[in-house]
Amino acid sequence: MLSGKYRKNIELGCEVEVVQKHHQRSGALTEGFVKRILTKSPEHTHGIKVLLETGEVGRVKNVIEQD
């Protein structure tokens, strides 16, 4: 798994695990596919913010690598 702190690790359509704003305390992860990358900077300490295809927004914790 790749880190979600770096924009270069995230591509449109890739599968990721994100933590949504209201789950930050519990750290509950939501799995989904990236529709849009919302963070402009090349890296972010809490994870790159993305919009999933389901419409949910969160910060990427892990990028799930495909074989």
Which CATH number does the domain housing residue 8 bear?
Answer: 2.30.30
CA 64 to CA 32: how far, in whole Å? 10
**C-alpha 62: how far from its chain's center?**
7
Q: Is residue 5 within 8 Å of residue 18, measured between CB atoms?
A: no
Structural domain that includes position 28: 2-64
Instruction: State pTM to two decimals.
Output: 0.92
Q: For the chain, what is the mean pLDDT?
A: 96
Residue range 1-25, pLDDT digits in tens: 899 999 999 999 999 999 999 999 9
**Number of residues that this document lists for the chain:** 67
Report how many domains make up the chain.
1
